[in-house]
């Protein structure tokens, strides 16, 4: 091994180990084989159920945390066409991919030893999946859109229903407005599927990882260590800004839910990075530039990994 292990290093091992086990426990409890009640549990990325054609049974109750296929490509803003969400995700994918390619050309493939590149790559993966899903959603939207005459008849019937129920009260009016066609109800009941839940999980993992990356960089590394250890350049600044900007833009218009328990995937993601650093340092790998040392130290101290930080 390229380093010596002391007794207090096992405290660091224990911290990361407990985080791993805790995250796995949360995922198993909320998405594992132990869940059995559709009305109280989240839909699972890990376990699928033997429902017919990917639809829920007609129980009249949508499970809490359910992600429907339409939520993946529709917007939370009423009236916003799905093509705009597709355009945002596609543009985000192209721009972030371009900056990552610039980063690799500038510093080489060894740049992937940093948490920033891990997070940036995950953001690109999320936007890649989101672009494909949004493109498919746009095709579904246009293929299922009723003709103008049908649409006009539907609006007229809905208007008459609303007018006939004006005397009943606001509650009944809201219920009438929420009435949808048979196809719309099926679309809401249909599960997002494996790739849909993979997109949802990547979305929530990105949220935690991007916040950690940018806060550490802009609030700790740049203000206190920039003069002595690193020189901020446009590439570095953009990579620690655009990831949050594009993700916040997507979050402001998408229709994805945010079940907090799936932040356990972010814990697994960060712990995996710490273990990766342990392995490469145990194999004798060292970072020679001052910025590399400072950047890694900050991330490892934040994660509680004094073991790897001592070896730089």
Q: Please provide the DSSP assignment of 276-288 as one string.
A: HHHHHHHTT----
Specify the higher pLDDT residue, 119 or 308. 119
**Which residues have a Cβ under 8 Å from the Cβ of 33 and sit 6 or more positions away?**
47
pLDDT at 29: 86
pLDDT at 271: 93
Indicate the DSSP class of residue 6.
Answer: -
Answer whether 35's CB lies under 8 Å from 259's CB: no
pLDDT at 270: 93
Would you tell me the crossing angle of helices 193-216 and 115-144 to the nearest 10 degrees?
Answer: 140
pLDDT at 155: 55
Q: Does 172 have pLDDT greater than 50? A: no
pLDDT at 278: 86
Give this prediction's pTM. Answer: 0.74
Mean pLDDT computed over every residue of the chain: 74
Sign of CA dihedral 93, 113, 265, 221: negative
Indicate the DSSP class of residue 3.
Answer: S
CB count within 10 Å of CB 182 equals 7
Q: Does 279 have pLDDT greater than 90? A: no
Average pLDDT on 173-183 reads 42
Instruction: Give the C-alpha separation, 29 to 121, whole Å.
Output: 29
pLDDT at 208: 92
Q: Does 186 have pLDDT greater than 60? A: no
Instruction: Give the C-alpha separation, 20 to 278, whole Å.
Output: 15
Give the CB-side neighbour count of residue 295, counting CA atoms within 13 A. Answer: 24
Average pLDDT on 18-36 reads 79
Instruction: Give the C-alpha separation, 23 to 101, whole Å.
Output: 32
Query: Tens digit of pLDDT for each residue in 202-259?
Result: 999 999 999 999 998 898 888 876 554 567 889 999 999 999 999 999 999 998 888 8
pLDDT at 187: 45
């Amino acid at each position: 091994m390229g380093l010596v292990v002391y007794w207090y290093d096992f405290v660091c091992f224990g911290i990361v180990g407990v985080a791993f086990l805790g995250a796995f426990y949360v995922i198993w409890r909320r998405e594992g084989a132990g869940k059995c009640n559709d009305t109280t549990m989240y839909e699972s990325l890990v376990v699928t159920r033997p429902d017919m054609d990917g639809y829920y049974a007609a129980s009249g109750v949508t499970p809490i945390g359910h992600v429907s296929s339409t939520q993946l490509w529709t917007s939370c803003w009423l009236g916003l066409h799905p093509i705009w969400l597709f355009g945002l995700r596609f543009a985000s994918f192209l721009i972030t991919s371009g900056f990552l390619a610039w980063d690799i050309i500038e510093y080489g493939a060894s740049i992937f030893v940093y948490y920033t590149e891990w997070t940036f790559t995950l953001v690109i993966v999320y936007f890649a999946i989101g672009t494909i899903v949004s493109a498919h959603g746009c095709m579904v939207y246009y293929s299922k859109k009723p003709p103008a005459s049908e649409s006009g008849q539907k609006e007229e019937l809905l208007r008459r229903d609303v007018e006939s129920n004006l005397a009943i009260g606001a509650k009944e009016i809201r219920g009438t407005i929420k009435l949808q066609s048979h196809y719309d109800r099926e679309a809401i009941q249909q599960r997002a599927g494996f790739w849909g839940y993979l997109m949802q999980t990547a979305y929530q993992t990105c949220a935690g990882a991007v916040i950690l990356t940018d806060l550490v960089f802009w609030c700790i590394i740049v203000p206190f260590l920039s003069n002595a250890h690193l020189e901020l350049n446009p590439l570095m600044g953009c990579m620690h800004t655009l990831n949050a900007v594009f993700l916040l833009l997507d979050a402001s218009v998408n229709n994805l839910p945010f079940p907090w328990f799936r932040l356990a995937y972010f814990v697994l993601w960060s712990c995996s990075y710490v273990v990766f650093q342990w392995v490469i340092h145990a194999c004798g790998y060292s970072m020679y530039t001052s910025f590399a040392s400072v950047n890694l130290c900050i991330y490892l101290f934040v994660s509680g990994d004094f073991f790897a930080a001592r070896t730089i």
